[in-house]
């Protein structure tokens, strides 16, 4: 599969939440670390999958789903163009021996032009969606970070490690130190955004009839 068709396939199959892995995990320390006071007792450490927390909030699920829906027409358009290229290519391969040299050259150029258009359109759509994804994530991440900051102070944590990234330096932690879900729950309460509706189960396939029955 050439590069342009590969890009179209990504878009058609629903590029999206996987892109979250390419955006910053949490507001950097340059924006201000979680303010804490000097602890009077032993250190209290927690871990959080910050990207997961942002994406799993009710607001995050709703916003990212809306962004996916926004790009559905573009994915359909790219898929249609990709299907057209496949069809024209098969026709040229099948009918090539019966066409004049001029006609073969004309059809071949038309296919190449459509492939270039597909690649340009797919890359533009991917870049546009990635930019919107980052803007959406950045805005929501800051609000989740504010909730995290309050939670940390209320519960006396002295250190919170983000384990979102694949190359995290954290080798082991107990589940009891993971505050991802409590932060998601706390943010949902603060935002007031209701949980998204559960997906409707698809209708079961009718059972095949036995031979000789109507």
- Whether residue 6 has pLDDT greater than 50: no
The pLDDT value recorded for residue 11 is: 43
Return all residues near 81 (Cβ < 8 A) that are at least 6 apart.
8, 114, 117, 118, 121
- Whether residue 84 has pLDDT greater than 80: yes
Domain that holds residue 76: 42-191
Mean of the pLDDT values across residues 67-74? 96
Is-contact 48 179, C-beta < 8 A?
yes
Which range among 60-74, 90-104, 111-125, 182-196 shows the weakest confidence by mean pLDDT? 90-104
Q: Which residue has the tokens 């890009």?
A: 7
Q: Is 166 helix (H, G, I), strand (E, B) or coil?
A: coil
* Residues linked to residue 178 through DSSP beta bridges, in sequence order: 47
- 26 belongs to a structural domain: no
- 125 belongs to a structural domain: yes
pTM of the model: 0.71
Rg of the chain on CA atoms, in Å? 25
- 182 belongs to a structural domain: yes
Q: Where are the beta strands (DSSP E) in the chain?
A: 45-48, 159-162
Specify the number of domains making up the chain. Answer: 1
What is the band of 42 on the pLDDT scale with cuts at 50, 70, 90?
confident
- 122 belongs to a structural domain: yes
- 212 belongs to a structural domain: no
What is the band of 167 on the pLDDT scale with cuts at 50, 70, 90?
confident
- 8 belongs to a structural domain: no
Which range among 4-8, 33-37, 70-74, 142-146 shows the weakest confidence by mean pLDDT? 4-8
Q: Is 171 helix (H, G, I), strand (E, B) or coil?
A: coil
Q: Tell me which residue of 62, 58, 68, 64 sits closest to 144, measured CA to CA.
A: 58
* Domain CATH number, residue 83: 3.30.910.20
Mean of the pLDDT values across residues 169-176? 90
- 106 belongs to a structural domain: yes
C-alpha torsion 5→6→12→14, nearest 10: -170
- 37 belongs to a structural domain: no
Annotate 1-53 with DSSP letters as a single string.
--HHHHHHHHHHTT--GGGGGGS-SS--GGG-PPP-PPPSSS--EEEE-HHHH
């Amino acid at each position: 599969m050439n590069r342009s068709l590969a890009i179209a396939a990504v878009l058609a199959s629903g590029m999206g939440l996987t892109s979250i892995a390419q955006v910053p995990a949490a507001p950097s320390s340059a924006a201000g670390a979680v303010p804490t006071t000097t602890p009077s007792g032993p250190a209290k450490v927690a871990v959080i999958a910050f990207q997961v927390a942002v994406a799993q909030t009710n607001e995050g699920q709703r916003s990212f789903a809306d962004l996916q829906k926004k790009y559905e027409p573009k994915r359909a358009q790219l898929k249609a163009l990709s299907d057209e290229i496949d069809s024209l290519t098969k026709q040229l391969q099948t009918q090539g021996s019966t066409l004049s040299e001029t006609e073969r050259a004309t059809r071949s150029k038309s296919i190449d032009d459509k492939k270039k258009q597909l690649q340009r359109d797919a890359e533009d759509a991917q870049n546009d969606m990635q930019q919107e994804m980052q803007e959406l994530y950045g805005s929501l991440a800051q609000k989740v970070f504010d909730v995290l900051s309050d939670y940390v102070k209320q519960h006396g944590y002295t250190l919170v490690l983000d384990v979102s990234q694949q190359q995290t330096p954290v080798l082991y932690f107990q589940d009891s130190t993971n505050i991802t879900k409590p932060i998601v729950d706390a943010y949902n309460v603060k935002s007031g955004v209701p949980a998204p509706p559960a997906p409707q189960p698809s209708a079961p396939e009718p059972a095949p009839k036995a031979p000789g029955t109507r």
